[in-house]
Amino acid sequence: MQYPNGKKSSQIRNKGNVKQTVYSNRGMSLEKDINDTNQYYLSHNVAIIHKKPTPVQIVQVDYPKRSAAVIKEAYFKQASTTDYNGVYKGKYIDFEAKETKNKHSFPLHNIHQHQIDHMKQVIDHYGICFILIRFSVYQETYLFPAENLFKYWEQQFKNNGRKSLRYETVKKQGYIIPIRYQAKVDYLAVIDQYYMENGGTTDGR
Amino acid sequence: MQYPNGKKSSQIRNKGNVKQTVYSNRGMSLEKDINDTNQYYLSHNVAIIHKKPTPVQIVQVDYPKRSAAVIKEAYFKQASTTDYNGVYKGKYIDFEAKETKNKHSFPLHNIHQHQIDHMKQVIDHYGICFILIRFSVYQETYLFPAENLFKYWEQQFKNNGRKSLRYETVKKQGYIIPIRYQAKVDYLAVIDQYYMENGGTTDGR
């Protein structure tokens, strides 16, 4: 979407706080945009997608009289799945979202082996699975199907294997996500398109 | 499953720790059985179902040098969805699990309004949604379809409305879950049966 002054809508939308959201607070702007989008989907009865809570190992809890329990010691645990899942038209949807400041590639160390394992399982069970990759310098967000990701994931473990997805690869094998006023990362628009192009695999088989 | 001495397999399995799991540690034995079942489903490639992490509001985190970040102050948040979800044969599965010591009824205060709202949304979007109710004194666990729950939920707000589901209602409108050696709460067996009985609604429409 181009505006008369040649700026993309996302740049206009972020005017005034682009520095804060993209640089100081890396990762948060994509998460916020997705949460807003999911809230829009929910309130407009389009789909039910939620972010999973951050997994925490709780070690010590105080129960003060007359007030809420306080967790006094806890540690972050590594998630065993992706961050987002839910239901769209009866289908299971599952995805991870990552942001990079890089201009030319998306480093694969942003993803973990167990997340790849989980994605493979989801695909095996006919779920719809992908990662959302935002290149923050371009303010572009792509849906990259999990099916296309696995070979690049494996390649990195070979001799001199590339440890990242090239921007061009993401552009070619992914789908740019339209930015809408309320659904800032309207990934379901791409799901409709992507799965239609692939011969209606949204039917589950 | 009956053993020669007339005890149910679940009673035998719990021998020696039945007091601990059912009474002192209410709610944990069902959760553990479901987690074991989900692990079995996962490792045998039957379905991908995970428990969501407990939602926590993190207030203060310390970052000590050379060691892991420590959460020093956090609070439990109310979950906005049910506890379990995932994918089975391409379909979205979503459920809550609750245990009661009561003999004659399941108190509805075990469930919250926002969970009911979430269940309605899931049903609207052709997901498979239910609660698992364990009557610990009988060591019986039932799958109670969300569709059957809503009217009892609403009834409690009427004058002299019943605030619980009668055990007999759960028996009649729910499905007892078979106990298997590895899948201790084999709810997918009931899903196959229940949705077949209802004319193959596992097709999503």
For A103-122, how does the pLDDT look when each residue is reduced to its tens digit (9 = 90+)? 999 999 999 999 999 999 99
- pLDDT given at position A182: 85
The whole domain housing B31 covers 16-52+85-203
* Mean pLDDT value across chain A: 85
Q: How confident is the model at residue B28 (pLDDT cuts 50, 70, 90)?
A: low
Return d(Cα A57, Cα A34) in angstroms, integer: 26
Rounded to a whole number of angstroms, the distance from the CA of A79 to the nearest CA of chain B is: 9
Q: Is it the case that residue A11 has pLDDT exceeding 60?
A: no
Q: What is the CATH number of the domain that holds B185?
A: 3.40.1350.10
Q: Is it the case that residue A199 has pLDDT exceeding 70?
A: no
Q: Is it the case that residue B7 has pLDDT exceeding 50?
A: no
- The answer to whether the CB atoms of A204 and B205 lie below 8 A apart is no
Return d(Cα A11, Cα A18) in angstroms, integer: 8
* A123's tokens: 């695909």
Rounded to a whole number of angstroms, the distance from the CA of A156 to the nearest CA of chain B is: 26
- The answer to whether the CB atoms of B48 and A126 lie below 8 A apart is no
Nearest C-alpha neighbor of A174 from the set A87, A109, A106, A90: A106
* pLDDT-wise least confident of A21-25, A152-156, B152-156: A21-25
Q: State the average pLDDT over residues B31-41.
A: 96
- pLDDT given at position B12: 37
Q: State the average pLDDT over residues A152-174.
A: 95
Rounded to a whole number of angstroms, the distance from the CA of A170 to the nearest CA of chain B is: 26
- pLDDT given at position B66: 86
- The answer to whether the CB atoms of A73 and B68 lie below 8 A apart is no
Nearest C-alpha neighbor of B22 from the set B138, B177, B141, B136: B136
Structural domain tally of chain A?
A: 1
- pLDDT given at position B146: 97
* pLDDT-wise least confident of A36-50, A80-94, B3-17: B3-17
Q: Which of B72, B74, B90 sits opposite A91 (nearest CB)?
A: B90
Q: State the average pLDDT over residues A68-96.
A: 94
- The answer to whether the CB atoms of B81 and A56 lie below 8 A apart is no
Q: State the average pLDDT over residues B65-77.
A: 93
Cα–Cα distances (Å) from A150 to A192, B51, B131, in that order, read 22, 25, 35
- pLDDT given at position A146: 97
- pLDDT given at position A67: 87
- pLDDT given at position A181: 86
Q: State the average pLDDT over residues B60-85.
A: 93
Pairing of strands A164-166, A48-51: unpaired
Cα–Cα distances (Å) from A117 to A111, A124, B43, B98, in that order, read 11, 11, 12, 30
Q: State the average pLDDT over residues B151-170.
A: 95
Inter-axis angle of helices B113-124 and B146-155, nearest 10: 140
Does a structural domain hold residue B174?
Answer: yes
Does a structural domain hold residue B9?
Answer: no
Does a structural domain hold residue A148?
Answer: yes
Does a structural domain hold residue B79?
Answer: no
Does a structural domain hold residue B65?
Answer: no
Does a structural domain hold residue A1?
Answer: no
Q: State the average pLDDT over residues B174-178.
A: 95
Does a structural domain hold residue B143?
Answer: yes
Does a structural domain hold residue A121?
Answer: yes
| Chain B residues in contact with chain A using a Cβ-Cβ cutoff of 8 Å | 42, 45, 47-48, 50, 52-56, 58, 68-77, 79-81, 85-94, 118, 121-122, 124-127, 204-205
- pLDDT given at position A117: 96
- The answer to whether the CB atoms of A72 and B72 lie below 8 A apart is yes
Q: Is it the case that residue B189 has pLDDT exceeding 90?
A: yes
Q: State the average pLDDT over residues A138-167.
A: 95
Q: Is it the case that residue A14 has pLDDT exceeding 50?
A: no
Cα–Cα distances (Å) from A99 to A26, A190, B55, B156, in that order, read 7, 18, 23, 47
